[in-house]
Chain A
């Protein structure tokens, strides 16, 4: 693996920065496994991989935000160490994150020189004239024609990105890492960004470019590195590969995993019909059908609008147009309406959205079923205890008792508690948003067995997952989302990882 970096001949023999054998482990996850990565002067190096492949981890190691467990760094052939963001900055490495780090009410000049403002004659003041002149010079360098005394909150996304780049250039950045820089840009703005990248390249600045858009990879990239499961899969030149080959590299061969699933011969009656749904969060024209006895997948890249669809169906985000018909009747209102009608949401972030961490397992298990368990409104601790004890047995939740604080359970058991509260409520449609994130394999197959049992008994599930293997194994069919819309529908026979990735990628 360590020799693979030199498999393709670079323009200049000595890389500006080279990472060798980088490994980084988090509890339970090997985020990076013996990864080699080299950046040559004046090149655009595309970094490709699925969600969770290790792109962000590698970026954070490069930037000194993570400290690698193993591995070496070489700058112009000399061994260096990057253990902090200050180290990275000294070597001229800067990152343009998707979430900008600008201060909205300060002006462009103050943002560019934030924390490095030229001091005025009176200590503690800023030399206004100098900071504006310096900012003007940096903005000229990247060809951004704007008054540096404009406050940042008046700027659009593309302009804010330019300010971020100006800030990096003012710190003498020689390696610019860009995390999906065109994700929020219009076509015209994208063109301007590409022009700027060409200009930076000509000045010898290297760009590490993380992208999910095939077209960009081929239009901009000098070299491509593909990551998968924390490993470097290959380094190639755009001329030597086809988009299909890249997709296969990103997805890899099917991992041998079997999930229990008893597919029904024929689907049951219609349970959920989503017609032309749009919400305030940017999803639009969503049409989804789920029948009893089905597990329907909802795939797409992170940020493609999957969770937003789930939240809109559950009433958590305001709907701007369209209709949701559940069990034959339209459904309008807040989550309490959806919950009472029989919809359950198992949210992506179970700690912040699914559980009251400081309350007991029992309290969390009955919270959605209070009205069902106590129709007269009078709460009885003993009866609640019986219900939660029953669920703890049924779901085999590993807890000393129902009185245990739920925050002390493992991820898998916490997830079972979130599912359990909807079992208690007698829900008919379970919307799972990344149900297996951060859960070990044992608990995973238990959760899938549970979902299978639920749908076999006449419930239905809509399952969001970035784990395409899981979608392919357990779903009857799947919708794939791209940029807030449904990009396609895959039947059981069409449901392959390649098809999911192909539909989910940006081809435009």
Chain B
């Protein structure tokens, strides 16, 4: 056996601990940004601002968490933002028509989930690359939303409903509680269920996954449905927080969500990444934008900075991963 052992090969860590290291570096980066901002700005550490950062981060995170699962399978969902817009407009209409926030919430989640499922069908049954399928879906959803809203704005929802996005419980914004709940659920799904294990296996090598007996098509359907449902959830939070819905609310959501996933250390090639990493990614993104606001840096610089952070994060990941191998 010694002939095969090859003592020259140094033991490497599995990706689980590799993931842990990545998350650790990211937490460190987030703390560093906090420290810098605390020094530069008096108002950064104020309770109001900290809660504001968390609430902002939670909005990005809801979309990005579902997207993380898609990216873990080496796919992409470009329709999440458009999905948020359509789901918000439909949920808003239902609340207006029926007066029942509960019914509206259910419709919003269902609408998001169905759109996700359709994405999944395109990717699995029709074998359209996810990038293209969801890109097409983006246009379809935009078209539907614009046609449905016809330039109108839905405005004014029951006070109880508005609590979801803007209310507080024990001094913390309600979206922050939701963030913790879904961070927990997402992490459990990815790390502590066999579905999660299968999702990682599919992303690492879809052919081998299928030939290992994993029902690849069904898992992909699940993943796209979850991504869509999370977009539906985000639509409810948006609707509640903004107290209005317009056709164009989704347009600025997709790219930041993808940025959070990438900054969070999930590889676009699949099989590597964590939901918790995406949370940190969303946090870093929000912290930087918040810091620029506090320091009165023009908002025009924000896309540039976001781009640089994404490139930097992915580059550093690739470097550390190459060294690990």
Chain A residues close to B by CB (< 8 Å):
314, 316, 334-336, 338-340, 345, 347, 352-360, 362-363, 366-368, 370-371, 374, 377-381, 396, 398, 400-405, 408, 410, 412-413, 421, 425, 440, 442-443
Contacts and interface: CB of A to CB of B under 8 A. Distances in A.
A205 to B, nearest CB: 42
Determine the main DSSP class of B at the interface with A.
helix
B20 to A, nearest CB: 12
A402 B15 CA distance: 12
Given A335-B211, A354-B208, A413-B4, A378 B12 contact: no
Q: Nearest 8 CB-CB pairs, A to B?
A: A339-B213, A356-B204, A360-B14, A400-B11, A403-B14, A370-B194, A336-B215, A398-B5
Given A404-B12, A405-B14, A359 B213 contact: no
B209 interface: yes
B114 interface: no
Instruction: Name the residue in B15, B194, B201 with the highest tally of chain A Cβ atoms < 10 Å from its Cβ.
Output: B194
Contacts of A339: 212-213
Given A370-B197, A408-B9, A443-B4, A316 B213 contact: no
B98 interface: no
B201 A367 contact: yes
B193 interface: yes
A442 B4 contact: yes
B211 A356 contact: no
Given A336-B214, A339-B213, A359-B271, A379 B196 contact: yes
A396 B215 CA distance: 30
Contacts of B77: none
Contacts of B10: 400
A368 B9 CA distance: 27
Contacts of B6: 398, 410
Interface string B308-325: 000000000000000001
A380 B188 CA distance: 11
Contacts of B300: none
B181 interface: no
B14 A378 contact: no
Contacts of B201: 356, 359, 363, 367
Given A335-B213, A358-B271, A353 B207 contact: yes
Contact of A405 (B12, B193, B212): B12
B209 A404 contact: no
A367 B212 contact: yes
B127 interface: no
Contact of A345 (B5, B205, B211): B211
A371 B201 CA distance: 14
Interface of B: 1, 3-6, 9-17, 191-198, 200-201, 204-205, 207-215, 217, 271-272, 325
A362 B200 CA distance: 13
A300 to B, nearest CB: 22
Contacts of A425: 213
A483 to B, nearest CB: 25
A363 B14 contact: yes
Contacts of A352: 205, 207-208
Given A359-B200, A377-B194, A412-B4, A367 B211 contact: no
B205 A355 contact: yes
Contacts of B208: 352-356
Contacts of B1: 396, 398, 442
Given A357-B204, A368-B213, 4 more contacts: A352-B205, A359-B200, A400-B11, A421-B212
27 contacts: A335-B210, A335-B213, A336-B213, A345-B211, A358-B272, A362-B14, A363-B14, A366-B197, A367-B198, A367-B209, A367-B212, A368-B213, A368-B214, A370-B194, A378-B192, A379-B197, A380-B192, A398-B6, A402-B14, A403-B16, A403-B17, A404-B9, A405-B12, A408-B9, A413-B4, A442-B1, A442-B4
Contact of A379 (B193, B205, B209): B193
Given A377-B193, A442-B3, A403 B13 contact: yes
B4 A405 contact: no
Contacts of B5: 398
Contacts of B212: 335, 339, 367-368, 421
- Most chain B Cβ neighbours within 10 Å, of A363, A377, A378, A412: A363
Contacts of B198: 367, 370
Contacts of B325: 405, 408
A367 B214 contact: yes
Contact of A334 (B15, B196, B210): B210
